[in-house]
Amino acid sequence: MSRTLDLNIKHLTRVEGHGNIVVNIKDGRLERCELEIVEAPRFFEAMLKGRSFHETAIITSRICGICSLGHQIASLKATEEALGLEVSEQTVLLRKLLIDGATLQSNILHIYFLAAPDFFGTTDAFKLIPTNKDVVLRALRMKRLANDIGDIVSGRAVHPITPVPGGFTKLPDESELRAIRRRLVEEGLPDVEATVDTIASVLNSVPGFTRETEYISLSHPDEYALYDGDIFSSDTGAADVNNYREMTNEFVVPHSTSKHCKHARESYMVGALARWNNNHARLSESALRVAQRLNLEPRCYNPYMNTVAQVVECYHCIEDSIAIIDSLLERGIRNEKPNQTPTRFGRGIGATEVPRGILYHEYEYDRRGNIVSANCIIPTGQNLANIDHDMKKLVPEIIDQPKEIIAKQLEMLVRAYDPCISCSVHILNVEFIGG
């Protein structure tokens, strides 16, 4: 094997010089195989300095429009821990409902708009629309349902406003909760069943690549952990959230402005597949049946199956949302005010699962309740080293394939992780017809 191949896939983001897949093979030897992504939260750490605890979550939710709810929840938990603010059971239930909605929304978009084209053998989700209009309408209906959960509980779907340190500034009406429950049952469940059918029909398009790695997620004894739990590694077991720095070990690499992470091995994976591998035993029987139908093994080492794990999570999030609403309605919504009287001023760490994996925020507050220092570790940063190592194993396995196939499989791999490129721009390019 003496192949020489240079691949440089540049359209990951429009930010020049970043977000590229670079592969160089010389005389059959893999010289370079890397993914470069810019990470934005570093700017926020500087921006947060000196800000009051009332503002922290508002600023951090702007780190990213797609992942804003997750940043908000991790931020609130860190602030509450640092200031000794207890929250009520009702607040926890409402936050869990928000996380279910946000996870459902992000997973649905990823499954239908990013992964589906690969499964259906086209380069572009939009080419699928004319022949699969029902499927697209279903995807948009599910996205809207998930959005509406966010709207009802948090005030507005994209940048949540009612969740604040210590609770909520506005609570949902019971009638609104009943209405969304009805939609979850009447639209959500049939739509997610249909999603399972759709994905089951294209499973043979998922590449058979495997690479066992370390899987890290939150884990909780009583539930499929999304909102809260200990940090759990498939290699080393549970660790307290306070030890997150030892679990992430950020380090600088020359090819990326974003730091990489590692723990027990050279890299680890976070996200839906990591959650599935660590916590599948806490899913309901019906969610496990969905997993079985989708050939998702209890220990799955194929990163491309991350998308399939997301489908299982969609099912879980709908089921769990219904159960949470039932619990809220049974208790009755109590008119609680947020608890915003600090009992201490110190350091706090908030960890939560967002669609792309475990997210950490850490703050230190001074005696006036202003930020002294902040740290934020996003899932994509944690996955970057793992993506590099996946690519390094994958490329030699497919090196005899045509260049286009190698490029496609690498792109699919990166897409399976759905990297958060919070600094990506969405600039529209237009040409005026007739000048």
Partner 1 sequence: MIKDPIKIIAIGNTLCGDDGIGYSVLQDLRERSSFPGIPLINCGVDVLSLIDHFSDTEHVIIIDAVKMGAQPGTIKVFETSDVEFTVLSNLFSLHGINLANVLELAEIIGAVPDKITIIGIEPEQIHVGKGLSSTVANAREEIIENLRSVIYGYQHQTRG
HEC-encoded secondary structure of 54-117: HHHHHHHHHHCCCCHHHHHHHHHHHHHHHHCCCCCHHHHHHHHHHHHHHHHHHHHHHHHHHHHH
We find the least distance from the C-beta atom of residue 136 to partner 1, in angstroms, to be 6
CA separation, residue 391 to residues 24, 149, 190, 268, 305 (Å): 12, 37, 37, 14, 15
Distance CA 133, CA 406 (A): 30
Distance of alpha carbon 203 from the chain centroid = 22
330 versus 431: smaller Cβ distance to partner 1: 431
147 versus 162: smaller Cβ distance to partner 1: 147
139 versus 291: smaller Cβ distance to partner 1: 139
Strand ranges in 307-381 using DSSP code E only, listed in sequence order: 347-354, 357-365, 371-377
156 versus 245: smaller Cβ distance to partner 1: 156
What does the angle CA 414 – CA 416 – CA 418 come to, to the nearest 5 degrees?
A: 75
Strand partners, 231: 218, 239
Query: Which residue type occupies 274?
Result: A
Helix, strand or coil for residue 353?
strand
CA separation, residue 324 to residues 96, 337, 375 (Å): 8, 20, 31
We find the least distance from the C-beta atom of residue 212 to partner 1, in angstroms, to be 25
| Residue 175 tokens, joined | 């009638």
Please state at what angle helix 174-183 crosses helix 306-331, rounded to 10 degrees.
140
Interface residue list for partner 1 (CB under 8 A): 11-15, 19, 38, 40, 43, 62-66, 68, 106, 109-110, 113-114, 123-127, 129-130, 133, 136-137, 140, 143-144, 147, 157-159, 411, 414-415, 418-433
Query: Which residue type occupies 168?
Result: F
Name residue, tokens 């944690």. 382
183 versus 282: smaller Cβ distance to partner 1: 183
16 versus 285: smaller Cβ distance to partner 1: 16
We find the least distance from the C-beta atom of residue 218 to partner 1, in angstroms, to be 22
We find the least distance from the C-beta atom of residue 281 to partner 1, in angstroms, to be 29
5 versus 59: smaller Cβ distance to partner 1: 59
| Residue 382 tokens, joined | 């944690």
What does the angle CA 248 – CA 158 – CA 76 come to, to the nearest 5 degrees?
A: 45
We find the least distance from the C-beta atom of residue 361 to partner 1, in angstroms, to be 17
We find the least distance from the C-beta atom of residue 363 to partner 1, in angstroms, to be 20
280 versus 356: smaller Cβ distance to partner 1: 356
We find the least distance from the C-beta atom of residue 176 to partner 1, in angstroms, to be 17
DSSP 157: S
We find the least distance from the C-beta atom of residue 58 to partner 1, in angstroms, to be 12
